[in-house]
Each structure stands twice: as C-alpha cells, then as structure tokens.
C-alpha cells in the first residue's frame, strides 16, 4: 500500500494477477539466484544443478502457456519470456559460480552458523487497539548465528548493478527495518529472557550482475551490516502501526462498498509503466472503459501471500 493504494487494492484486496506477463530480466535473474542459494545453504545442494532445474521449469511453464489460437502478441511475449529466462540463467550461472569461489577465498561465511535458509518468522503485533489481531510475517533469505557475538543475524541476497546505490539505501530500506523489527519482537515477545535469541540485525549480501570477463573490475561480491538501534525500531514500529491501521480502515471501507476511487486513489509516477502490472487497467478504471471486462480477460485471482502458505490462518490485508 505504501507505493500506491490502487495497486494494493488490485493486488491484495481484489487479489488479481495478470494471466500472462512479460518477464523482466532483472527479477528473473534474481529469482534464479535466490532459489539455488536457498537450496545450497539448507541442503548443500549444488546451486548450478538447482539453477538448471529452476530455469527449465520456468521455460516449461512458458511453453505450457502456448495454446492453439493464441494471438500474435501473446505468442511473441512467450517467445520473449523464454529468451529472458535463458539469458537470466546464463547470468545467474556466472554469478553463482563466482559466489562459491568468493566464499572459499574470503571465508565470508566462516563465522556464521546457518539456522535456516528461506525461513519464515511470524509474531503477533503487540497492539490491542487494532480492530482484529495482526500478525507480522517476515520471509528471510537466510538466518544465522553469528559466532563472534552469539547473536542471530538475518541475511538478504540482492543481485545488484552496483554496490554503492544499494549500500546508500540499505539503512532506510523498509524491508530491513521490517525484518529487524520482526526479529526483535520474536526475541523479546516469543522467547523473553532467552539470551541466545538476541538479534544483531541484518547482512546485505550483494552479488553484482556482471559477467566477470577479463575487462570487468572486481569486487563482484560484497556484504554490508545493516543494524538499527532500538530507537529506530521503536519509531518504525509506530510508523508500521499507522500503516496497518490504514490498511484495516481501507479494507473496512471497501467491504462496506465505498467506491475504490475514494478509498484507494492511484499514485501515478513515471515508473508506473515498468513497475506496475496494472498499468493499462489503471487507465481503464478512470476513463470509462469496460475495466471489469478487461479484468476478466486479462487477470486471474491469486493470493499474493501464496508463498507464505505454510503459516496457518494467514489472510491477505
């Protein structure tokens, strides 16, 4: 909801996702790096074998979308998506191979004991004046025990174009604040007084998206500690409480039939055309077109929290 209330309305309240969508190379490369790393950290599974499996599965999914009578545009999009997966897989292979070498050379993980990769932390928001109980849920790329401090650390993998942009943004990144808060609340509420549960913030694990040819300039991998003070976490907690209150109030308005133009107005920016899956629909919702007909033809229902399905009783807000 932070970025755009209309986008939240379509993706979370209406739970819509495009039936088929153009894949972006950067997010496909990111996905093809994340899953092999998760399997490698959790099960010591060869990341390159996981990469092959994941990319072949993605290609198969695209091929399965090919059905007779599909329009020229849809066929061309599927062809393009298959090319995107192949290009992204080639990049991911270079990134993963180099990452393993870098770990070996630098010993970057030598003081970290894995707790779990792709782990979910969930904690009840300790506030009583919400209209209903609210759980916070964080899906962490990996969680470790830092042997130097005996503290828990979470790690987030990011495939980046360059380090400096990501590093500058890291301290303000709401994702790190959220994970830090959930870790802190988990340690103080769920396991009070258990010193072994104390948490010492996150590690930004940056993997540069570069082909590492002879002319490329290292370093290609870098880590940054991202820690928030108790004051920062407290202020973020207040900010988050406000966001949750707005989500609950907006949901109630929509449930009561308030027009979405009033409850969830759009926040257009110049980025909309590349960062929103509802770009065309968004115009149709305002210009008198048959937007619901377009929804029926081009979108399907899908729970945006599907990947958290292992948490019982979760509902999308």
Q: Which residues bind ligand SF4 (CB under 6 A)?
A: 4, 6-7, 266-268, 272, 276, 278-279, 282
Least Å from the CB of residue 170 to ligand SF4 = 24
Least Å from the CB of residue 283 to ligand SF4 = 8
Least Å from the CB of residue 178 to ligand SF4 = 20
C-alpha to C-alpha distance for 153 and 184, rounded to whole angstroms: 11
Cα angle for residues 146, 152, 153 (degrees, 5° grid): 80
**Residue 312: CB atoms within 10 Å:** 6
Least Å from the CB of residue 11 to ligand SF4 = 9
Q: Are 180 and 233 in contact (CB under 8 A)?
A: yes
* Closer by beta carbon to ligand SF4, 204 or else 282: 282
Q: Are 13 and 274 in contact (CB under 8 A)?
A: no
* Closer by beta carbon to ligand SF4, 130 or else 279: 279
* Closer by beta carbon to ligand SF4, 16 or else 78: 16
Q: Are 190 and 143 in contact (CB under 8 A)?
A: no
Q: Are 59 and 32 in contact (CB under 8 A)?
A: no
Q: Are 32 and 89 in contact (CB under 8 A)?
A: yes
Close Cβ partners of 20 (under 8 Å, ≥ 6 residues apart)? 65, 74, 77, 78
* Closer by beta carbon to ligand SF4, 22 or else 86: 22
* Closer by beta carbon to ligand SF4, 10 or else 23: 10
* Closer by beta carbon to ligand SF4, 6 or else 208: 6
* Closer by beta carbon to ligand SF4, 212 or else 277: 277
* Closer by beta carbon to ligand SF4, 92 or else 247: 247
User: Is the omega angle on the peptide bond into residue 219 within 30 degrees of 0, that is, cis?
Assistant: yes
Q: Sort 215 into a burial class: Cβ within 10 Å, 0-12 / 13-18 / 19+.
A: exposed
Positions of E strands within 98-168: 112-124, 135-146, 151-160
User: Residues 105-137, buried b or exposed e (16+ Cβ, 10 A)?
Assistant: eeebbeebeeeebbbebbbebeeeeeeeebebe
Q: Sort 48 into a burial class: Cβ within 10 Å, 0-12 / 13-18 / 19+.
A: middle
Least Å from the CB of residue 12 to ligand SF4 = 12
Least Å from the CB of residue 280 to ligand SF4 = 9
């Amino acid at each position: 909801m932070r970025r755009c209330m209309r986008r939240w309305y379509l993706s979370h309240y209406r739970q819509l996702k495009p039936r088929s969508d153009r894949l972006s190379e950067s997010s496909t490369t990111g996905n093809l790096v994340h899953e092999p790393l998760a399997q490698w950290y959790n099960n010591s599974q060869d990341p390159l074998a996981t990469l092959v499996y994941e990319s072949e599965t993605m290609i198969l999914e695209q091929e399965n979308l090919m059905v007779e009578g599909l329009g020229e545009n849809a066929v061309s999009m599927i062809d393009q998506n298959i090319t995107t997966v192949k290009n992204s897989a080639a990049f991911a292979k270079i990134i993963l191979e180099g990452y393993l070498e870098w770990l070996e050379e630098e010993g970057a993980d030598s003081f970290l004991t894995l707790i779990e990769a792709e782990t979910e932390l969930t904690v009840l928001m300790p506030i009583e004046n919400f209209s209903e109980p609210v759980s916070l849920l964080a899906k962490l790329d990996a969680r470790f025990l830092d042997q130097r401090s005996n503290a828990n650390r979470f790690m987030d993998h990011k495939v980046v174009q360059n380090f400096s942009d990501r590093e500058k943004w890291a301290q303000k990144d709401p994702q790190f604040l959220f994970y830090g808060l959930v870790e802190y609340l988990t340690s103080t509420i769920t396991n009070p007084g258990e010193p072994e549960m104390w948490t010492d913030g996150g590690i930004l694990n940056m993997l540069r998206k570069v082909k590492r040819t002879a002319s490329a300039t290292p370093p290609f991998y870098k880590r940054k500690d991202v820690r928030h003070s108790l004051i920062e976490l407290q202020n973020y907690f207040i900010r988050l409480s406000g966001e949750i209150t707005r989500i609950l109030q907006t949901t109630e308005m929509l449930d009561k039939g308030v027009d979405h133009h009033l409850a969830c107005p759009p926040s257009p920016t110049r980025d909309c055309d590349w960062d929103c899956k509802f770009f065309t629909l968004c115009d149709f919702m305002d210009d008198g077109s048959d937007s619901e007909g377009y929804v029926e033809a081009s979108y399907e229902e899908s729970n945006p929290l599907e990947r958290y399905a292992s948490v019982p009783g979760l509902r999308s807000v």
